[in-house]
Structure 1
Amino acid sequence: MKSFVFVIVSIFVISCSREKKQTKSQPEILGIKDIIVDESFAPIIEDEYMVFRSSYPELDVNLTYKPEVQLLNILLSDSIRIAIMSRELTKTEIERFEKKNIKIRTIPIATDAIALITHKSNTDSTITLDEIKSIMKGNPTERNLVFDNPNSSTVRYLKELTGVNELPKKGIYAFKSSAEVIKYAHNNPGTIGVIGINWMKQPPVELETLVDNLKTLAVKNFAGLPGADKFYKPNQNNLAIGVYALKRTLYIIDCQGGSSGTEFAAFIQGDIGQRIILKSGLLPDKIPTREIIIRKTITP
């Protein structure tokens, strides 16, 4: 991941020569704030943060990583008013802020894939959503699902997708972090881990060797839905055309009621922030443009 960040920082330095051109398209850079982030997106947000700090050393932001349920509790308690998470606030949640005359800003920044991972020695390379639903309902199966946290966004997503209210006691395990899922999937070849794809594309340095021994399963959607014709891998192309079944939108939720303290959020929305997302394996909300200079060839 360090080499990836070095490349991005280098791109930023080169881009500085075009600063006047980019300033108009970049969101406005303002004050400093605390931001709470869904733990399942830690690698990509850490990449964004490292480049942001290299780009704007005079600015800083405090990032706190929590599972989705804890994140929402903190956000709704007014402890921190900017969040990065994988769902919009519900009508009831929004009303809590509207009673205080606070207008919510919901900004999509990327499309993420929930990856199903297993050890490379596992002969399985595919899975259907019907199989996942069967496991989530506690039906007997040789396959086990391992989640990052019982209160995580990945658990909530699959529960909603499969119509399950409570996780079954058999066939489902939940740890405390995505890092623990990677370690468990590596050491238990028959297990299927459930994590955000950015943990596979840009893992922390200490997990790189483990990730090298893991693979992602291709997924087939429920009958009648896009991606039901065959098995699809969680890559940017399949996210873009809508055939990978386990996809979700990543949002910045701004509950401040004003425009101050959004410098890091503005950076992620800008050209460089979206390029970092593009290189991370997620699909950016705004595909960065490329400048192509065509020079006329003078023939004798």
Structure 2
Amino acid sequence: MKNIRIILCVVLISIVAISFVACNNAPTKDTQGILTGRANVLVDETIAPIIEDQIDVFESSYTNAELTMIAKSENEVVRALLKDSAQLAIITRELTEKEAEFFKSKTIYPKTVRFATDAIAIIANKSNPDSTIDANDIIQIMKGQTVAKVKALVFDNANSSTVAYFRNLAGVDKLPDQGVYALKSNREILKYVNENPQSVGVLGINWITQPEAELAPLTEHIKVLGVKNQQGKPGDDGYYKPTQSNLALNLYPFTRSLYCINVQGKEAIGLGFSSFLYGERGQRLILKSGLLPDSIPPREIIIRN
């Protein structure tokens, strides 16, 4: 009997010891892995709302993952990436050849995943009598020309991706001295358009479809304008709003792709998050947000007799 008790005590101690070791070896937020660990995610602030939702769902699914979103202008995001102060970025363009070569010179090969199509919305105050605008009107304003029905065209930030988009579209190197204003944030755009009915604002559509609670009252007095594209381009036959169907059919003029750029140089949490964005759950969140997912998630229809 005594021997049995000794054996049981030894077994019990062994189980406790094994459990203790197992617990100590279990993944934690301090363990670097594809689905574990910590990382900062630098995000173009024009698409911040949808990425914040993606991070929330990712962290709730993988409890040993901790991603901290830092929203900045696209220029600031890329600069941080090149200065080694970030290893994961979500922006509206791919790295340039020069930027990619910078990382390759350090034997780091950036992994880029395109996961959605975003729309740049043109917004106005609901009291504004106009509900449509021509792409050519925006281009003329960017070139410093006057468009009678638009007293001011406002952007979130002089370094933002939306400014770069329309500078490239109009073929200009800088914003004109009059008629176009760069504010400090997307929040300020909504506030400005609320207070100036003859102004037109430019921002990512997700700021309208999924506004923060504090911004919801501002969006109630905002409308999204239909846009007619330049002649000879898709969408030049009418005025189209940035709906998912119009994005899918390439009818809305002002669109851009969203990319997750991972320069961690190893199999770490950045790889897991970029895979999540492109995976079924991430793509469903994109679909729900009003943006266009890169791959349309399948819908299962159950037919009952």
Distance 2:251 2:164 in 1: 21
Amino acid of the structure 2 residue aligned with 1:44:
I
Residue of structure 1 aligned with 2:276, choices 250, 267, 277: 267
Counterpart residue number, 2:299: 290
Letter in 2 for 1:280: S
TM-score of the superposed pair, with normalisation by structure 1: 0.87
Q: State the shift of 1:258 in Å.
A: 2.1
Q: Deviations over 1:59-86 (max 9, x none)?
A: 2111111001111110111110110000
Counterparts of 1:58 and 1:102 in 2: how far apart (Å)? 26
Q: Does 2:137 align with 1:128?
A: no
1:212 and 2:220 matched: yes
Q: Distance in 2 between matches of 1:56 and 1:100?
A: 31
Task: Choose which of 195, 200, 208 in structure 2 pairs with 1:200.
Answer: 208
SS in 2 for 1:169: coil
Aligned CA RMSD, in angstroms, stands at 1.3
Structure with higher Rg: it is 2
In the aligned structure 2, how far is the partner of 1:49 from the partner of 1:82?
13
Gap runs ≥5 in structure 1:
1-27
Paired residues for 1:1-300 under 5 Å: 29=35, 31-142=37-148, 143=150, 144-262=152-270, 263-295=272-304, 297=305
Specify the code of the residue in structure 2 equivalent to 1:223. Answer: Q
1: CA distance, partners of 2:232 / 2:266: 44
Query: How big is the shift at 1:267?
Result: 2.2
Deviation track 1:152-199 (CA, whole Å, cap 9, x = no partner) reads 000000000111111001000011111110111111111100000000
User: Taking every aligned residue pair, what percent have the same amino acid on both sides?
Assistant: 50
Letter of the structure 2 residue corresponding to residue 95 of structure 1? E
**Structure ranking higher on relative contact order (CA contacts 8 Å, 6+ apart):** 1
- 1:105 Cα deviation from its structure 2 partner: 1.2
> Which whole-Å CA distance do the structure 2 matches of 1:69 and 1:294 have between them?
50
Structure 2 stretches lacking a partner, 5+ long: 1-33
TM-score (norm 2): 0.85
Once residues 163 and 286 of structure 1 are traced to their aligned partners in structure 2, the CA distance between those partners, rounded to angstroms, is 32
Distance (Å, rounded) in 2 between the aligned partners of 1:280 and 1:162: 29
2:65 touches 2:269 (CA, 8 Å); kept in 1? no
